[in-house]
Amino acid sequence: MNLETADSRIRGLRPPKARVDPYRAHGTLLEKERRPDGTIEESLTIFLAGAECPLACSFCDLWQWTIDGPTPSGALTAQVEQALSSHEGRRPDRVKLYNSSNFFDPRAVPRDDAKSIATLLSGMSAITVESHAATIGKRAIDFARSIPGRLEVALGLESIHPVAMSESNKRLDLDRFNHAIALLEENEIDTRVFVLLGMPYVPNPRPSSGQCARSSTPRAWARRWFP
């Protein structure tokens, strides 16, 4: 697949964006979640407004909630401050920062904002951010070390079906994904993985979510279904 052509084709099919204020978060969500050890925790998700992801995955609709150009310096700090100050009740166990892009892309999250956010969330026992596997590196490790609580990075694997992976235009392969997971694990950073069920281009029968969960790594999962 010619990636430039795929990007242009996908972007060309999009309607105009809504107007987004980069100093105002889209909203928050308080929910209970089950952790891998079976405990239930309360997490506060803050849906942040900021720069659009430079990638153009064919299934993604997050671009609608982004601005053109880089996130202005200070904007994310202001959004997190507002969200925390408007939260009532006891402090959540976890804060999830979903910025419709990649937390470790400096165009999306300026360096000074990452520092200010780490300070603002220093009382939290856990923080989750989202980022493409290709962005996992020193910035992720530095951010993890700048917070007293645990960092969890949410990574979109989406599918390990080779045709679906290619057609998704995600620009991700299993080696890169596994490398990111290994780097995070080596640095005691937790991970959560997004998998799309019912991905176009995947022939039936499709593996169930239970089968996804039972396989230990994407590579193991791939071996199971594509020996």
Taking each helix axis as running N to C, give the angle between helix 174-186 and helix 138-145, from 0 to 180 degrees, rounded to the nearest 10: 30
Closer by beta carbon to ligand SF4, 46 or else 124: 46
- For residues 58 and 168, the answer to whether their CB atoms sit within 8 Å is yes
Q: How many angstroms separate the CA atoms of 211 and 151, rounded? A: 27
Task: Dig out the tokens for 101 from the structure.
Answer: 């892009």
Q: How many angstroms separate the CA atoms of 98 and 204, rounded? A: 32
- For residues 60 and 105, the answer to whether their CB atoms sit within 8 Å is no
Query: What mask, x for binding ligand SF4 by CB under 6 A, covers residues 81 to 110?
Result: --------------------x---------
Q: Which of 51, 57, 127, 151 forms a contact with ligand SF4 (CB under 6 A)? A: 57
Cβ count within 10 A of residue 146:
15
CB of 170 to ligand SF4, least distance (A): 6
Task: Dig out the tokens for 126 from the structure.
Answer: 């856990």
Does residue 147 interact with ligand SF4 by CB under 6 A? no
Could you give the C-alpha distances from 98 to 91, 101, 227, in angstroms and in order?
A: 19, 8, 35
7 dihedral zone (left: phi>0; alpha: psi -120 to 50; beta): alpha
Q: Which of 53, 83, 124, 144 forms a contact with ligand SF4 (CB under 6 A)? A: 53
Q: How many angstroms separate the CA atoms of 72 and 95, rounded? A: 22
CB of 154 to ligand SF4, least distance (A): 10
CB of 133 to ligand SF4, least distance (A): 9
Does residue 55 interact with ligand SF4 by CB under 6 A? yes
Does residue 131 interact with ligand SF4 by CB under 6 A? no
Stretch that binds ligand SF4, among 51-59, 86-94, 145-153, 197-205 (CB under 6 A): 51-59
Q: Which of 170, 177, 180, 218 forms a contact with ligand SF4 (CB under 6 A)? A: 170
CB of 52 to ligand SF4, least distance (A): 8
Does residue 156 interact with ligand SF4 by CB under 6 A? yes
Task: Dig out the tokens for 182 from the structure.
Answer: 């290994």
Does residue 60 interact with ligand SF4 by CB under 6 A? yes
The residues binding ligand SF4 (CB under 6 A) are 53, 55-57, 60, 62, 101, 132, 156, 170
